[in-house]
Amino acid sequence: MTKDRVLQKNIQPPVADKQPQVLELHGDRRLDNYFWLRDIDNPKVVAYLDAENAYTTAMMQHTETLQTQLYDEMLSRIQETDLSVPYRKDNYYYYSRTEAGKAYRIYCRKQGSLDAPEEVLLDENELAAGHDFFELGVFDISPNHQILAYSFDTSGSERYTLFFLDLNTRHFYPETIADTYFSFCWGNDNQTGFYTKIDTANRPYQLFRHTLGTSTESDELIYHEPDEAYALYVDNTRSQAYILMTLRSSITTEVHYLDANNPRSDFQIIYPRHPGIEYDVDHHSDYFYIVTNEVATNFKLVKTPLTAIAKDNWQTVIPHREDVLLSGISLFANHLVIYERKDGLQTARVQNLSTDDESNIIFPEPTYAFSEGSNPEFNTTILRFNYTSLITPPSVFDYDMETQERELKKQTQVLGGYDLTQYRSEWLMATAEDGTQVPISIVYKQGIKKDGKNPLLLTGYGSYGASYPASFSSTRLTLLDRGVVFAIAHIRGGEEMGRKWYENGKFLHKNNTFTDFIACAEYLINEGWTANTHLAITGGSAGGLLMGAVINLRPDLFQVVVANVPFVDVVSTILDTSLPLSAMEWEEWGNPNDPVYYDYMKSYSPYDNVAAQDYPDLLITAGLNDSRVKYWEPAKWTAKLRELKTDNNILLLKTNMDAGHSGASGRYESLKELAFEYAFILDRLGLV
């Protein structure tokens, strides 16, 4: 045993006080010994978090040199002074850039030509000075390009303060607006702005109309959404003709529209909410285009005349298909871009609205990620999109929708001589316990052998219909170059294989998410990619719930676990309607006030199912100001695991006392957090 290991064994972990709290519902009694950790005003709570942080630091002290090495290695691959690809809007070119030694972005523009002098619009580094945390929310320039509306948060709580800056004089307007969310839009008069306010549970629930230069006390409340299951967002159509107010729950949508040229007028409804009916709206010429799941599980596209928007007038443009998910559309003056998923992979096609001719945008790799880029202009034939894969760095393309030619505008530079031919990615299929084929994206350095000896890091998410992107990460090379295989389990609860893939991983089918992940792990072991003694897993937020559930079910299957801001106290959190993960989440997880859902949620809730058994090595992270997953969930989970687990494996809780759900802000501090996690994984897998 090394000296460091001896020192570790002599360090005693904190032991949280047990203060029994009985929680009773539906005749069921749950005993929560650590309920008291919810009280942040109790000095013992902060003392406990500090003690856990001190213990974590002590237990990881022997890796400090490794952490520095990993940080320096990851930083050395990044082009610190860099420039985004400028995009054009009217007579301006907008872009952002970074400078070496500065943690945040600088937003700029040039007028008329890329050879024109640079105008700095906003320097995040100046705004972040003196703050331990900084995050930009709104960044929205008025239609005449003269006024910048922007907001930021300095706590990690996702409560933003909104400002208005005259870009000609560089003077601020006197009004500031606190407790806003990150959606905003301008009326075409360049004087009227629409913003959303959030309630005590951080739900955007009110829409206000503001006139530039006036007191916010006179702002008009346009809409108040009383239903706690709905959030409110506001945006412009690309045509700039309409402002859309979208009210969205997990399974239901309602959209209202307003003439952007007459921003003092009233919003009109497009289609009243009906439970289970979702839709998104865009505008072109005399029609609204609507992507909806109305009698269309995988969604369809319809259009309706502006003069007769009632559902009876909806005209089908793209019908529903069982084998293709319609992910969304994008409208330009003469083109319709159609985004779809088939057989787990993203596809795109472009339709000429004058001729109905179509072209396909083809992607060559077995697994990849694709998204639309910055396309603010309506009257253009150029579609900008982003492409990446597990081995291809982020790439920005301009695609000519008339000629079908694509131009690579930029590929993110990876310093240090990165050669993608030295790595390989694959698309695999595991068989779930019910026979379902579950996709896995995997990447590794050429030359590894499938002999069961490879360290492997497996991740997944599987909630909210979010498809896990198979995207490139220069920081991941730090693992790949050390022989670690990286894999993504595209489990049910996401939307990779269509809408039913999502629906079969939620509500009373949630256990499919966990058993799919276990099946993927077993497949990778059985196929010789790794062994349980070399297998690490990681997930964050709802992916942290995944981590907690699978180690309760199969603690023997994994050697190392990293759970970032894990949502683990499922029943108690969703019962508490004062929290963000409560009423808004009932349409994702179920309402535990219903005994059927209560029993089912309790059956997989990681906190409620901690058992007296051996667990893998565990690193759990939290953010004190996290508004999505409150700090006490990972803290309570840690305390209960310490009480009940029967092994001598390491259990660490690391709480960022200055951040929220996304962890540290600024690229350098974020890299340090990642270096810490990688050091934990490499250390516990015996790779150092």
Active site residues: 541, 626, 661
Helices (H), 137-209: none
* Crossing angle of the two packed helices 511-526 and 595-604, in degrees rounded to 10: 30
CA distances from 38 to 17, 49, 218, 240, 624 (A): 13, 12, 38, 46, 11
Which contiguous run of DSSP H or E holds residue 429?
Answer: strand 423-431
Query: Cα(600)–Cα(582) distance, rounded to whole angstroms?
Result: 16
Helix (H, G, I), strand (E, B) or coil at 667: helix
Going 150 to 156 to 157 to 158, the CA torsion angle's sign is positive
Query: Cα(218)–Cα(209) distance, rounded to whole angstroms?
Result: 9
Query: Cα(610)–Cα(624) distance, rounded to whole angstroms?
Result: 23
Q: Are 661 and 628 in contact (CB under 8 A)?
A: yes
Per the listing, tokens 């330009």 go with: 332
Which residues, listed in sequence order, are joined to residue 326 by a DSSP beta bridge? 340
Q: Are 369 and 427 in contact (CB under 8 A)?
A: no
Diameter over CA atoms, the chain: 79
Helix (H, G, I), strand (E, B) or coil at 103: coil
Per the listing, tokens 């997930």 go with: 539
Query: Cα(279)–Cα(255) distance, rounded to whole angstroms?
Result: 8
Measured in whole angstroms, the distance separating CA 327 from the mean position of its chain's CA atoms is 17
Per the listing, tokens 């007038």 go with: 313
Going 658 to 662 to 666 to 671, the CA torsion angle's sign is positive
